[in-house]
Structure 1
Amino acid sequence: MSSTPAPAAPPESSEEAPRTVHPVDEILPAPKLAVYGMQHVLAFYAGAVVVPILLANAIGLSTEQLIHLINADLFTCGIASIIQSIGFWKVGVKLPLLQGVTFTAVSPMIAIGLAAGGGTDGLLVIYGAVIVAGLFTFLIAPYFSRLIRFFPPVVTGSVISIIGLALLPVAATDAAGGAANFEPTNAKNMAYALGTLLLIVVIQRVFKGFLATVAVLAGLVIGTLVAFVLGDAHFDAVATSDWFGVTTPFYFGWPKFSFAAIVSMIIVMLITAVETTGDVFATGEIVKKRISKDDIARALRADGLSTTIGGVLNSFPYTCFAENVGLVRLTRIKSRYVVAAAGVIMIILGVLPKAGALVAGIPHPVLGGAALAMFATVAVVGIQTLSKVDFDDHRNVVIVATSLGLAMYVTAVPDVAKAVPSWAEILFGSGITLGSITAIVLNFVFFHVGKSRGPAVAGTPGELIRLSEVNAMDQETFTRTFGGIFQGPTWPVERAYGFRPYADTLDLRRAFQEALFSTTQEEQLDLINSYPDLGPAGGQRGADSLRDQSSLGLERLAEAEQEELTDLAAAYRERYGFPLIICVREQTSVEDLLQHGWERMGNPDVQEHAAALVEVAKIAGHRFDDLVAGANPIHSARRRHVSPE
């Protein structure tokens, strides 16, 4: 009969141990929900109405029809935002993401409408394509989400940065008077824009708490009041607008279905799915919540459902609005119920044309000043994500540089889209689209297709170290180069040096493995104790540790997962006297990691010592692969080629 103590049970999940609510799920008092929600609406409003305005002007709709399109757009935006932020069943990512009409669809919709004769006839063909594309997106959401492994930090960071940078010209155009009254040399426009931006900065610097979080709203309101006093803000449309107006399904008639139009809109939604994925990752970074493939699927289902509803309620394709991602980062208000409140406000605006006309009275330069802060903040989130990327690997440099360069090329010179065939205009018509697809494709080519080039690579781009150079190293240089393979003590690396010369990279790998296992139990225990506990604190033990733990998002766990992981680590350390070591990179989910950890609690001490050492070897193997290209052909083939789930 074994005297081994019974394994500790996982923490109870009953109501006896209530967990702290994550900031995303916090329900704020009604007054704060209203104020924060209105701030989101004001930040979003200009972008929300520009799509129906551009479309109506292009296909020849009347002013009355345009007003109905704007009301329908706001009404459906509200419904879509509630679906995305509150969620139900497997629909909605339940993050503070506000939904709006995607700009990617503008050019294709205009082309579809004009091809169908323009006017209402063209609008009906657009709606038919929108409805089918929305259903298509809803159905493919779980399959698209499986591609999440193709969105490492080098891709998501690039996409997020591109979104922020590509939107800055939109803010700059508003700051200069808007597209219709573009006056970049107008000093008054500049004064309004920079004054609003300065006001937002000052409020955030001087005030704390509630006032600091509504800095954008305060900047917009104060800027508009100043412009009104000086005669530059006009609200004439309020008097001429109706008090009440409700959009009805198929207001313009039953939709018409064209195969070519449907294919075009499906392509739009596939591209939009990439942008949505980037926005979800950006928001996950901001609110410190790990994003899984299920989250991506839920977000895309919400996009698809909202797009279908848009086609029914006389609106257009929907996606997560990047503009409001920046507002979440800027205000640090992470509650998804704030976005739900914004959705309610938009529904109200959608049935109250006078209220919508009042919001529309905000001068473009004032909106532009606020947008400069918000869009730049999105870019900053992308930069924060890219800080996790290993830029010693020149492939990552190429991915980021090329995607950013192409995105800015198209953004700075939008007319280049006219140089390509019409079918390619959808790709070259948006810097966000071109840059995002470039980052995804290059990551796929560099890391998932073909074989690695060159035998052994360590160091920095331009100073790559070959196997022959490794064999020629002195012990100090060798230890400095490979010291990060193991955490803490350097004796395994120093002993591996004694196995020189190495015939190939596999021989070099074996040297580290033999040095690890052919030593005393005391030295092994000392090495095991140098490894950090799993969780956010573990990432503070160096770049290698951060890279390991980031592969599963352990540095930004939800409150409940973090608490359970902390409990597991504490119970394990108390049971065995050393930290729980698990090769995070070989775990498929946090749930699997936790289950594996609790199962190991029943092992005898000797077995667990050996298990910990095996996990150290696995971690060392992955770090070795990070440092040495072509180090393990079998492992590299598994990592760098597409394989079924």
Structure 2
Amino acid sequence: MMTTDLDDIPTPAVHPVDEVLPAGQLTVLGLQHVLVMYAGAVAVPLIIGGALKLPKDQVALLINSDLLAAGIVTLIQSLGIWKFGIRLPVMMGVTFAAVGPMLAMGANPALGINGIFGAVIAAGVFGIFVAPFISRLLPMFPPVVTGVIISVIGLSLLRVAANWAGGGVGNPNFGAPLYLGVSLVVLASIVLITRFARGFLANVSVLAGLVIGFLIALALGQVSFAGISAAPWAAPIYPFMFGAPVFDAVAIATMCVVMIVVMIESMGMFLALGELTGRPITQEDLSRGLRVDGLGTLIGGIFNTFPHTSFSQNVGLVGVTGVRSRYVTVAGGTIMLVLALMPKLALLVASVPQFVLGGAGIVMFGMVAATGIRILHSVDFHGAKRHNLYVVAISIGMGLIPELSDKFFDRMPHVLSPLLHSGILLAAVTAVILNLVYNGWEEVGAGHAH
């Protein structure tokens, strides 16, 4: 009898996160993820290379190195190897949080770019070791805190979407009606596809919108293919192509602070992904995911690039498409590796104008904010818990200060800039402190499964 009962128990279905889709679908869905994060992925090498006045071939090397490291680290994060990798659909790329400190290091003749790489390598090792300690903060992130952080991630990213839609920061024709019109067409295309399409087409709504926008931009003569014909088909990348790294104590200490900022921001991304994929995040999950921030930064320093983090743009894409399989970002990571080693293809992808990305950005980043709002919907704001309104109101206000007023913290000590210029970190710190003030230590961790 017992055997029969056991035989009747259905085998548990594969969780959507672990579902392996057909190869063709994985490739297209992976490409969608790459297009969404590509502009952000190549921006930091362009900024650093330009500031250090590096020749064009070395800037190209920085970009290709960035793509290579991002591809490797994305595979580790999504697939999981030993104690590394959160095993969720995460795309990794170079973080903007380190740009300010790296520009300061690069301007110092005693350090230069090899001083940056030395600090990045040391910060990566530091990140691997501190990841389990950072993950222990999870009980301090109940829904009232995570809802705020995820909302602020989405709201702060909308500035990126607006800059894309206007044609990109520094574009002399920023805000031209043509740019705004194409962005609107991309946005409308995504809305119509998600409303009326079914199956696979609905899953690639963002990619379809980007293709439509690209074709319109191409027809209007707004796409530049400059440099593609001159670029080589293949280019090898190996460690320390700029020379031996330089290790400076002050630079390393600064980059380690940046690493903590990056990891706390990553916690917000991971909690948002857990919510979107229906897979609650445990402390051990967080440790594995945060270790990859450290490992990715270490790999970045060795392979001529910069600190790595999970890309929040792609969290929004998971929300828009509803595709939760981590093998999609495995495909995305593989595509990044191919682009890194084939500069001609990398330049072709880079030819997608930023204003084409704008309409998609509004949808994706708004989706992240909406996820945070949905979490806040489950929070009790009544009676004895009415103080939760203060937690939400003040934390969101603090988190949006750097986004709404660029120069607000300019007169504060330079050493505090990684903290004060990260709206996500400001919101997180404020929400955690206010939750302790209003709800007490014993309340911390109640319902942190989100």
TM-score class normalised by the smaller sequence: over 0.9
Tell me, yes or no, if structure 1 residue 411 matches structure 2 residue 307: no
C-alpha distance after superposition, 1:35-78 (max 9, x if no partner): 00000000110110111111112222221111000000011111
The 2-side partners of 1:129 and 1:444 are apart by: 35
C-alpha distance after superposition, 1:440-481 (max 9, x if no partner): 2322343346x99xxxxxxxxxxxxxxxxxxxxxxxxxxxxx
Tell me, yes or no, if structure 1 residue 288 matches structure 2 residue 278: yes
* Counterpart amino acid of residue 551 in structure 1: G
C-alpha distance after superposition, 1:312-363 (max 9, x if no partner): 0011111111100000010001000000000000000001111110011111
Match of 2:186 in 1: 196
Match of 1:551 in 2: 447
* Contact kept in structure 2, 1:58 and 1:110, CA below 8 Å: yes
* Counterpart amino acid of residue 183 in structure 2: A
Instruction: Between the two structures, name the one with larger relative contact order (CA 8 Å, sep ≥ 6).
Output: 2
Residues 137-216 of structure 1 mapped to structure 2, 5 A cutoff: 137-181=127-171, 183-216=173-206
Match of 1:82 in 2: 75
Cα displacement (A) at 1:182: 5.2
Match of 1:423 in 2: 415
* Contact kept in structure 1, 2:85 and 2:291, CA below 8 Å: yes
Of all paired residues, the percent bearing the same amino acid is 44
Match of 2:57 in 1: 64
Tell me, yes or no, if structure 1 residue 256 matches structure 2 residue 249: no
Match of 1:350 in 2: 340
Match of 2:48 in 1: 55
SS in 2 for 1:415: coil
Cα distance change of structure 1 residues 445 and 217 upon mapping to structure 2, 3 Å threshold? same
Tell me, yes or no, if structure 1 residue 432 matches structure 2 residue 417: no
Q: Using the TM superposition, name which of 395-404 and 376-385 deviates more.
A: 395-404
Cα distance change of structure 1 residues 110 and 448 upon mapping to structure 2, 3 Å threshold? farther
Cα displacement (A) at 1:173: 0.6
* Contact kept in structure 2, 1:416 and 1:428, CA below 8 Å: no
The 1-side partners of 2:96 and 2:136 are apart by: 26
Tell me, yes or no, if structure 1 residue 38 matches structure 2 residue 28: no
Cα displacement (A) at 1:234: 1.3
Cα distance change of structure 1 residues 182 and 161 upon mapping to structure 2, 3 Å threshold? farther
Cα distance change of structure 1 residues 287 and 355 upon mapping to structure 2, 3 Å threshold? same
Match of 1:94 in 2: 87
The 1-side partners of 2:189 and 2:67 are apart by: 28
The 2-side partners of 1:209 and 1:382 are apart by: 27
Which of 303, 323, 331 is 1:341 aligned to? 331
Tell me, yes or no, if structure 1 residue 378 matches structure 2 residue 274: no
C-alpha distance after superposition, 1:164-185 (max 9, x if no partner): 1001111101110101205444
SS in 2 for 1:61: coil
Which of 253, 263, 269 is 1:273 aligned to? 263
Residues 279-318 of structure 1 mapped to structure 2, 5 A cutoff: 279-318=269-308
* Contact kept in structure 1, 2:143 and 2:448, CA below 8 Å: no
* Contact kept in structure 2, 1:130 and 1:317, CA below 8 Å: yes
Ranges in structure 2 where 5+ consecutive residues have no aligned partner = none
SS in 1 for 2:190: helix
Return the TM-score normalized by structure 1. Answer: 0.66
SS in 2 for 1:416: coil
The 2-side partners of 1:215 and 1:250 are apart by: 40
Tell me, yes or no, if structure 1 residue 105 matches structure 2 residue 98: yes
Cα displacement (A) at 1:205: 1.0
* Counterpart amino acid of residue 420 in structure 1: M
Cα distance change of structure 1 residues 185 and 178 upon mapping to structure 2, 3 Å threshold? closer
Cα displacement (A) at 1:270: 0.7
* Contact kept in structure 1, 2:143 and 2:447, CA below 8 Å: no
SS in 1 for 2:128: helix
* Counterpart amino acid of residue 281 in structure 1: L
The 1-side partners of 2:218 and 2:147 are apart by: 40
SS in 2 for 1:239: coil
* Contact kept in structure 1, 2:153 and 2:368, CA below 8 Å: yes
SS in 2 for 1:319: strand
Cα displacement (A) at 1:17: 5.9
Cα distance change of structure 1 residues 58 and 395 upon mapping to structure 2, 3 Å threshold? farther
SS in 2 for 1:267: helix
SS in 1 for 2:227: helix
The 1-side partners of 2:373 and 2:330 are apart by: 28
The 2-side partners of 1:182 and 1:96 are apart by: 37
The 1-side partners of 2:448 and 2:394 are apart by: 27
Ranges in structure 1 where 5+ consecutive residues have no aligned partner = 1-7, 453-547, 557-645
* Contact kept in structure 2, 1:173 and 1:182, CA below 8 Å: no
SS in 2 for 1:419: coil
Match of 1:541 in 2: none
* Counterpart amino acid of residue 447 in structure 2: S
* Contact kept in structure 2, 1:27 and 1:337, CA below 8 Å: yes
Match of 1:519 in 2: none
The 1-side partners of 2:44 and 2:438 are apart by: 37
Match of 1:574 in 2: none
Cα distance change of structure 1 residues 146 and 17 upon mapping to structure 2, 3 Å threshold? same
Tell me, yes or no, if structure 1 residue 127 matches structure 2 residue 117: yes
Cα distance change of structure 1 residues 445 and 180 upon mapping to structure 2, 3 Å threshold? same
* Counterpart amino acid of residue 88 in structure 2: L
C-alpha distance after superposition, 1:546-593 (max 9, x if no partner): xx9x8374xx8xxxxxxxxxxxxxxxxxxxxxxxxxxxxxxxxxxxxx
SS in 1 for 2:93: strand
The 2-side partners of 1:234 and 1:143 are apart by: 47
The 1-side partners of 2:125 and 2:389 are apart by: 38
* Contact kept in structure 1, 2:168 and 2:174, CA below 8 Å: no
The 1-side partners of 2:172 and 2:348 are apart by: 22
* Contact kept in structure 1, 2:138 and 2:448, CA below 8 Å: no
* Contact kept in structure 1, 2:261 and 2:418, CA below 8 Å: no
SS in 2 for 1:249: coil
Cα distance change of structure 1 residues 94 and 105 upon mapping to structure 2, 3 Å threshold? same
The 2-side partners of 1:55 and 1:248 are apart by: 20
C-alpha distance after superposition, 1:508-551 (max 9, x if no partner): xxxxxxxxxxxxxxxxxxxxxxxxxxxxxxxxxxxxxxxx9x83
* Contact kept in structure 2, 1:102 and 1:318, CA below 8 Å: yes
Cα displacement (A) at 1:116: 4.2
* Counterpart amino acid of residue 419 in structure 1: R
* Contact kept in structure 2, 1:133 and 1:266, CA below 8 Å: yes
